């Protein structure tokens, strides 16, 4: 049976731990200059219906370092842009490649791709979720703190795809998550309610920034206008202005607070220059880890042992 990575919710805690462990091993080999090429001869198709720097480059470089190759497809240059369906694209690509990564708008497009592809499909971000980002963020916390269970993570700002994946991450891995979002900009209600019901840890949505950040080990934020929301940017800036991650906010958290941002950042909006460049910021380590975690995901989904019954 092929496995996909569409949402952190679909993974068990043990499966996530395997990914994190594998990412640690892969990073260590990489830093020692050791080659590790379990995906020799394999190809990954990467469909981007939205822009990307980190996801595109880390998947592409990751595949190369694992011995395979990856190539970029955008709707304008493929038949997807002329109305070929996701289902037919999935069926055709499955005849050529060993895995598909897709970044798109509706989560349903990711799900359709997975349903009709006979090779593993990875969600490289949708309007609803950004699972690879949060796996990498949790790996980064683990690396910096040696644990994630029992920690308090505060997500501050827009309740978007990144926030939704933080919720799934907290549900599966048992850390406390406090989301501070202004009214009207909360995270997905269904994802949140499900997590609150099923979680062993505390998952709380509040409009009260102070309550969310007090005693937090980690503060994470993201842009106020995600890709596809550019027209509403000015309204969003107004609504979210009070939820900026700045030096005053950090004073409410623990002294050793870690500040995270999935990037790209709009410096001066959701996060100040001072905090981004300051001693608590781990945003570039976080970005670096996308490479190692992506390689772990690719190896586990597309490597040996995952091949039986994969094709057609």
Residues noted as catalytic: 103, 130, 133, 222, 262, 290
# of chain residues touching ligand CP (CB under 6 A):
9
Q: Provide the minimum distance between the beta carbon of 52 and ligand NVA in the complex, in angstroms, as a whole number.
A: 8
- Tell me which residue of 113, 135, 133, 191 sits closest to 159, measured CA to CA: 191
Minimum CB distance to ligand CP smaller for 29 or for 227: 227
| Phi, psi for 154 (deg, rounded to 5) | -110, 120
| Rounded CA separation 271/284 (Å) | 14
Q: Provide the minimum distance between the beta carbon of 124 and ligand CP in the complex, in angstroms, as a whole number.
A: 7
Indicate the residue whose CB is closest to ligand CP.
55
* Partner whose footprint covers residue 223, from ligand NVA, ligand CP, none (CB < 5 to 8 Å by kind): ligand NVA
Q: Which two tokens stand for residue 264?
A: 């790209």
Please tell me whether the peptide bond between 53 and the residue prior to it is cis, using omega within 30 degrees of 0: no
165-204 mask for ligand CP (x: CB under 6 A)? Answer: ----------------------------------------
* Partner whose footprint covers residue 53, from ligand NVA, ligand CP, none (CB < 5 to 8 Å by kind): ligand CP
Interaction site with ligand NVA (CB under 6 A): 125, 160-162, 222-223, 226-227, 262
Q: Which two tokens stand for residue 62?
A: 């990751």
Place of tokens 């690879």: 132
Alpha-helical runs (H) found in 32-121: 54-65, 86-94, 107-116
Q: Are 160 and 152 in contact (CB under 8 A)?
A: no
Is residue 53 part of the contact set for ligand CP (CB under 6 A)? yes
Is residue 52 part of the contact set for ligand CP (CB under 6 A)? yes
| Rounded CA separation 115/252 (Å) | 46
Query: Are β-strands 152-156 and 176-180 bridged in parallel, bridged antiparallel, or unpaired?
Result: parallel
Minimum CB distance to ligand NVA smaller for 61 or for 227: 227
- Tell me which residue of 78, 19, 22 sits closest to 45, measured CA to CA: 78
Q: Provide the minimum distance between the beta carbon of 226 and ligand NVA in the complex, in angstroms, as a whole number.
A: 3
Minimum CB distance to ligand CP smaller for 201 or for 281: 281
Q: Provide the minimum distance between the beta carbon of 217 and ligand NVA in the complex, in angstroms, as a whole number.
A: 22
Q: Which residues contact 103 (CB under 8 A, 6 or more apart)?
A: 46, 47, 48, 49, 50, 52, 55, 123, 124, 125, 126
Minimum CB distance to ligand CP smaller for 199 or for 276: 276
22, 54, 109, 217: residue in contact with ligand CP (rule CB under 6 A): 54
Is residue 220 part of the contact set for ligand CP (CB under 6 A)? no
Provide the β-strand partners of residue 219. Answer: 154, 259
Positions touching ligand CP (CB under 6 A) are 52-55, 125, 133, 262-264
């Amino acid at each position: 049976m092929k496995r996909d990575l569409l949402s952190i919710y679909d993974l068990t805690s043990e499966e996530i731990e395997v990914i994190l462990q594998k990412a640690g091993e892969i990073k260590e080999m990489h830093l020692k200059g050791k080659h590790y090429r379990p995906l020799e001869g394999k190809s990954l198709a990467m469909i981007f219906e939205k822009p990307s720097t980190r996801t595109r480059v880390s998947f592409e470089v990751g595949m190369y370092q694992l011995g395979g190759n990856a190539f970029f497809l955008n709707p304008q240059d493929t038949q997807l842009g002329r109305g070929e369906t996701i289902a037919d694209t999935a069926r055709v690509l499955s005849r050529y490649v060993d895995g598909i990564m897709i970044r798109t708008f509706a989560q349903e497009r990711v799900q359709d791709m997975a349903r009709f592809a006979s090779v593993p499909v990875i969600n490289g971000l949708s309007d609803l979720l950004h699972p690879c980002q949060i796996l990498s963020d949790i790996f980064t916390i683990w690396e910096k703190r040696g644990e994630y269970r029992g920690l308090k993570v505060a997500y501050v700002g827009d309740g978007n795809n990144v926030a939704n994946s933080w919720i799934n991450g907290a549900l599966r891995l048992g850390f406390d998550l406090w989301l501070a979002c202004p009214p009207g900009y909360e995270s997905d209600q269904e994802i949140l309610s499900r997590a609150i019901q099923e979680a062993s840890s505390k998952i709380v949505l509040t409009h009260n920034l102070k309550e969310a950040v007090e005693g937090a080990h980690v503060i994470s934020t993201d842009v106020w206008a995600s890709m596809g929301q550019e027209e509403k940017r000015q309204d969003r800036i107004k609504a979210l202005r009070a939820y900026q991650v700045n030096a005053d906010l950090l004073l409410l958290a623990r002294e050793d607070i870690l500040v995270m941002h999935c990037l790209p950042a709009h410096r001066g909006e959701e996060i100040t220059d001072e905090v981004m460049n300051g001693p608590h910021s781990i945003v570039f380590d976080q970005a670096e880890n996308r490479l190692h975690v992506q390689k772990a995901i690719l190896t586990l989904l597309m490597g040996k042992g995952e091949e039986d019954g994969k094709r057609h």
